[in-house]
Chain A
Amino acid sequence: MSKSLGRRDFLKGAAAVAAGGAAAIPAVAAAWTQEAAPATPVLGPGPVPFTLRVNGKDHAVNLEPRATLLDALRGPLGLTGPKEVCDRGACGACAVLLDGVPASSCMVLALDAEGREITTVEGLAGPDGKPHPLQEAFVREDALQCGFCTPGMVTSCAGLLRRNPDPTAEEVRDALSGNLCRCGTYPRIVKACRSAAAAMKGGR
């Protein structure tokens, strides 16, 4: 029974439910004793060796469990594109793509990013170093001033265009609503994102 739960998303009858509509306890207690899972190691609190896959390359790191993904990127990996600004997930300056989805790396433990595909603003450019269409559009539209929020903005836009290649202005604003800019570039970022979307549709 427990095994079926994971696979059968939205399939009816996956769980045993009492007639009244109240949820029943799944028969996991039985599974508990039957499936002797291998013991999961408890790591730390000292440094732990593990691997992070960033911008298509594996990097061996040795970090305490409390290290955030942002700590790992800006420290041992030397990727200082993502910025530390609020340190609380409120500003988006540290945004990176985790398996293609933007997330605030200051609130993700580095260990939780193990085994995931991490893309930073540095990894968006082509292998030949040619800037990503978004990066070109940001420059073209002057969608940046001091530039400190820019890596996070570009990254959030990149995440948006992956799932929505043709966003409206409103959709761009929504997607960026966790990214703060202090110089005041939002309208031009919206423009740049849509301009990049058009350029990408045109086959770069």
Chain B
Amino acid sequence: MKPFSYARPASREEAVRLLSPTARPKGGGYDLLDLAKNGVSTPGTMVSLAAVPEMGKAWTGDHGETYLGGRMTLADLATLPAVRAACPVVADAAAEAATPLVRATATLAGNLLQRPRCTYFRDPFFECRKRGGAACPAMEGDHAEGAILGNRLCCAVHPSNLAAALLAAGAELRILTGVDGKGEPTWRTAAVDPAFFVAPEEDPLREARIGPGELVFDAVVPPCPSSAYVEVNQKASFDWASAAAAVVLEMDGGKVARARVALGAAAPVPLLSEAAAAALAGKAPGAKAAEAAAEAAVAGATPLRDNAHRVQHLRVCVKRAVLLAAGRGR
């Protein structure tokens, strides 16, 4: 690792004061350290959020929405009964992430904003669009773990479980913008919707519309008791998803009034499948509707030479997530 500076502010105000394009907020630090150890990128300063008290907690708002602090660990997200009750899709996604050792320190914001796991991206030896290169070597090379949707320019998949879950849940982020020591900090909110994510066609260098000096203070998740996140893994102990689906159902009697179906590990950004949602609307969420949603979700898939199995995996995830969600919150 290259050398860097370090600060550990004790309040969010101090944190924001310290943030700048070269000073990155650090939760668990898993991804930042991994990128630094691989020589991909090292910030000038790591601003540790470990001492910002309220960012590590969750609370419930007046309308049943859940506030999840940006520094909450994946372990807390996965195990707190209140989170599981209010938004099981988030609890599922956190529980499926990585390992207990990682979940103990990795955070909501860190998981959401982690960079792709594509081995070509993580190895500076290779040219990579995500590091400013002109080509994607994985297209011709090894893409067995690559994207099956939106993969024209880059076939790295978005690695974040929580991104898919928050997208399906229609969550909103409350973001503090750093001031680099000068001026007033500003708050903004950003809906976790398709517009929050940045596809390679627009800008391959980033995956989300958030600046380097910005801080995800928390995520506000509307209640979504009928929701689920399902992923497929080759290994049962620690594996990145081969495909993932996050499904939120708004039920009206025995029928789906409205659905949100987010696809993870399928494209360079998490995708909201309108077609899958449409296939569920007005239907009883049984096997037939689930299968229709699954087919709709993969309809436009463009698998590469060696990753057609991921289309089937995505299909299975959508189907199973719909059925799991339908069985909840009743």
Contact = CB atoms under 8 A, between A and B. Distances in A.
A179 B238 CA distance: 9
B10 interface: yes
Nearest to A97: B104
B99 A15 contact: no
Contacts of A9: 57-59
B166 to A, nearest CB: 13
Interface string A1-17: 01001101111111101
A40 B7 contact: yes
Given A21-B63, A107-B30, A109-B48, A177 B99 contact: yes
A107 B46 CA distance: 14
Contacts of A37: 9-11, 13-14
A39 B98 CA distance: 36
A123 B267 CA distance: 45
A90 interface: yes
A33 B46 CA distance: 24
A92 B101 contact: yes
B310 interface: no
A2 to B, nearest CB: 7
A66 B99 contact: no
B114 interface: no
A111 B99 contact: no
* Most chain A CB inside 10 Å of its own CB: which residue of B5, B45, B48, B184: B5
Contacts of B322: none
A145 to B, nearest CB: 19
Contact of B29 (A14, A45, A112): A112
Contact of A45 (B4, B59, B174, B185): B4
Contact of A89 (B48, B50, B60, B101): B101
Contacts of A33: 184
Given A5-B54, A65-B6, A98-B104, A25 B189 contact: yes
B222 interface: yes
B3 interface: yes
A20 to B, nearest CB: 9
Contacts of B13: 28, 31-32, 35, 37
B229 interface: no
B31 to A, nearest CB: 10
B82 A10 contact: yes
A174 interface: yes
A45 B3 CA distance: 6
Interface string B68-81: 00000001000000
B30 A175 contact: no
A43 interface: yes
A35 B11 contact: yes
Contacts of A23: 61, 65, 67, 172, 174, 189, 220
B50 A112 contact: yes
A103 B103 CA distance: 8
Contacts of B61: 12-15, 17, 23
A169 interface: no
A31 B217 CA distance: 15
A22 B101 CA distance: 34
B7 A42 contact: yes
Given A13-B62, A23-B174, A41-B7, A177 B57 contact: no
B6 A177 contact: no
A109 B185 contact: no
Given A23-B65, A35-B13, A37-B11, A44 B4 contact: yes
B280 interface: no
B36 to A, nearest CB: 8
Contacts of B105: 98, 103-104, 107-108
Contact of B14 (A2, A39, A174): A39
Contact of B62 (A8, A12, A42): A12
Nearest to B52: A6
Given A102-B100, A108-B105, A109-B29, A14 B59 contact: yes
A59 interface: no
Interface of A: 2, 5-6, 8-15, 17, 21-23, 25-26, 28-29, 31-33, 35, 37-46, 48, 64-66, 68, 87-90, 92, 95, 98, 101-104, 107-109, 111-112, 114, 156, 159, 173-179
5 contacts: A28-B12, A29-B187, A33-B184, A40-B7, A43-B7
Interface of B: 1-14, 16-18, 28-30, 33-34, 36-37, 45-46, 48, 50, 53-54, 57-63, 65, 67, 75, 82, 98-102, 104-105, 172, 174, 176, 184-189, 220, 222, 236-238
